[in-house]
Amino acid sequence: MYLAKGVRTQVAIVGAGPAGLFLAHLLHRQGIESVILEQRSRAEIEGTIRAGVLEHWVVDLMNDMGLGDRLMREGHFHSGITLRFGRRSHHIDMSELTGGKRVTVYAQHEVIRDLVAARLEDGGRILFGVSDVDVRDIDCAAPRVLFRQSPDGPMEELPCDFIAGCDGFHGPSRQAIPAACRREYQITYPFGWLGILAEAPPSHPELIYANHERGFALLSTRSPEVQRLYIQCDPRDDIANWSDDRIWSELHRRLEDGSGWTLTEGPVFQKGIIGMRSFVCEPMRHGRLFIAGDAAHIVPPTGAKGLNLAVADVLVLSRAMAAYYSTGSSDGLDGYCATCLARIWKAERFSWHMTTMLHRNPGESAFEQRLHLAELDHLVHSRAAMAALAENYVGLPME
């Protein structure tokens, strides 16, 4: 797609990740025009392996928006998760604890494929492969985004009413908020995740989160033929140090509980190491620029919250914009930060808690390790504690 000179739009969206794509759909449903500017190609965004778990209201939202057909056919719906520690396994029945809400596993790149296809079918404008994106005049009534449609093409300009910065943690939008006007809070963790995709049948009917003396491990799924697994590792480690044999040997040791259950191996066709951080930028708005999703906040993946929080932000933003265009009221836009941040800080707390409880911190004392085990032991023997975990994991209510 090529954008003709002189085109303007109501909302210029930077980034075609979950935040940008959901926002474009939600605005379209309200009759609001947008253009998405994405630096990567369609094949790249549809091929990047990231999240897996959707909160229950995100599944409902996709169905309401008419985007849920493949999700309902190919997604995996689990009633709970298994926690494994001290050589024992404990099932947490999320459905029973939350009045029927389920854990849905449907890969982020599948969500992206569904959203891109539906947006383009509706005539939506997504420009892939743009470069040098720069957000300008966000303090004025007439902001604009500068960009190149091809690497050696001229600098062009997209005038708009609002800019939505949905460009992830490393994108330019957050940096466009003057440093003196923003405050950033963050923690980096002394461990990372080594994630693999393996061609193998599922080993277990639901996700397993394991706290083991050798470190955390997680078993998830993608399809009847492909499984997703993670192990805690040093975030500075080189993936070349991890042969497939070494990865499987760690996974067997950390995930198997001595009950006779075994992990099924298969060829590993993708592997990589990611670092972990918790991060929040306040405020999430400056003038006519609104930042959403990973551009504004990061959670460690142990709570499975990042994609879901991105969708929550843009749902709030789309409602505020719809109210602005239909009634002229700016109340929703003025309340955007406070509404989003109330949810974000709860997800930050939950993700930090799951992460610290389930990982072995290389610097932690034997005393701290015993505290984590006591916490896990309390959790699986207390209905109130399990209900609190379940309520956060399946997703706090979205009014």
Window contacting ligand RFL (CB under 6 A); options: 175-183, 297-305, 327-335, 346-354: 297-305
The three-state (H, E, C) secondary structure of 331-358, written as one string: HHHHHHHHHHHHHHHHHHHHHHHHHHHH
Q: Rule CB under 6 A: say whether 308 interacts with ligand RFL.
A: yes
Active site residue 106: no
Give the nearer residue to ligand RFL in terms of CB position, either 53 or 138: 53
Interface residue with ligand PHB among 174, 228, 285, 286 (CB under 6 A) is: 228
Q: What does the per-residue mask of binding to ligand PHB show for 259-298, with x meaning CB under 6 A?
A: ----------------------------------------
Instruction: Give rounded-to-5 percent helix, strand, coil for the chain.
Output: 40, 25, 35
Shortest distance, position 351 Cβ to ligand PHB, whole Å = 9
Which member of 18, 101, 143, 209 is catalytic?
A: 209
Hey, what's the torsion of the CAs at 335, 341, 343, 344, to 10 degrees? 150
Pick from 114, 156, 161, 167 the residue near ligand RFL by CB under 6 A.
Answer: 167
Contact stretch for ligand RFL (CB under 6 A) within 233-241, 307-315, 350-358, 383-391 = 307-315
Q: How many CB atoms lie within 10 A of CB 91?
A: 13
In terms of CB distance, is 19 or 341 closer to ligand RFL?
19
Burial of 175-201, coded b for 16+ CB within 10 Å and e otherwise, reads: ebbeeeebeeeeeebebbbbbbbbebe
Q: Which does 300 bind (CB under 5 to 8 A by kind): ligand PHB, ligand RFL, none?
A: none
Terminal-to-terminal C-alpha distance of the chain:
36
**Which helix (H) or strand (E) element contains residue 14?**
strand 9-14
Q: Which of 78, 101, 212, 286 is catalytic?
A: 78
Tell me 263's DSSP state.
P
Residue 283 identity:
P
Q: How far apart are CA 303 and CA 351, in angstroms?
A: 4
| Residue 82 main-chain phi, psi, to 5 deg | -110, 135
Q: Is the peptide bond before 159 cis (omega within 30 degrees of 0)?
A: no
Query: Contact at 8 Å (CB) between 67 and 76?
Result: no
Residues 236-295, interacting with ligand RFL (CB under 6 A): 274, 293-294
Torsion of Cα atoms, 103 then 109 then 185 then 146, to 10°:
-150
The Cα 275–Cα 193 span in angstroms is 7
Using CB under 6 A as the binding rule, whether residue 25 contacts ligand RFL is answered as no
**Nearest C-alpha neighbor of 52 from the set 29, 30, 28, 75:** 75
Q: Annotated catalytic, 305?
A: yes
Catalytic residue among 18, 143, 300, 301: 301
Surface-to-core class of residue 249, CB atoms within 10 Å of its CB (0-12 exposed, 13-18 middle, 19+ buried): exposed
Does 20 bind ligand PHB (CB under 6 A)? Our answer is no
Q: Respond yes or no: is residue 230 known to be catalytic.
A: no
- Applying CB under 6 A, which part among 47-55, 78-86, 182-190, 389-397 lies near ligand RFL? 47-55
Q: Is 171 a residue that touches ligand RFL (CB under 6 A)?
A: yes
Scanning residues 26 to 85, which ones bind ligand PHB (CB under 6 A)? 51-53
Q: Which is nearer to ligand PHB, 223 or 369 (CB)?
A: 223
* 325 tagged catalytic: no
Contact residue for ligand RFL among 11, 12, 13, 16 (CB under 6 A): 16
Of 24, 28, 35, 38, the one binding ligand RFL (CB under 6 A) is 38
Assess whether 301 carries a catalytic annotation.
Answer: yes
Indicate whether 82 belongs to the interface with ligand RFL (CB under 6 A). Answer: no
**Binding residue for ligand PHB (CB under 6 A) from 302, 308, 318, 339?**
302
Instruction: Please give the Cα distance from 322 to 329 (Å, whole number).
Output: 10
Residues annotated as catalytic are 78, 209, 301, 305, 393
**Contact footprint for ligand PHB (CB under 6 A):** 51-53, 105, 207, 220, 228, 301-302, 304
**Contact footprint for ligand RFL (CB under 6 A):** 14-20, 37-40, 45, 50-53, 108, 130, 133, 166-168, 171-172, 193, 195, 274, 293-294, 301, 304-308, 310
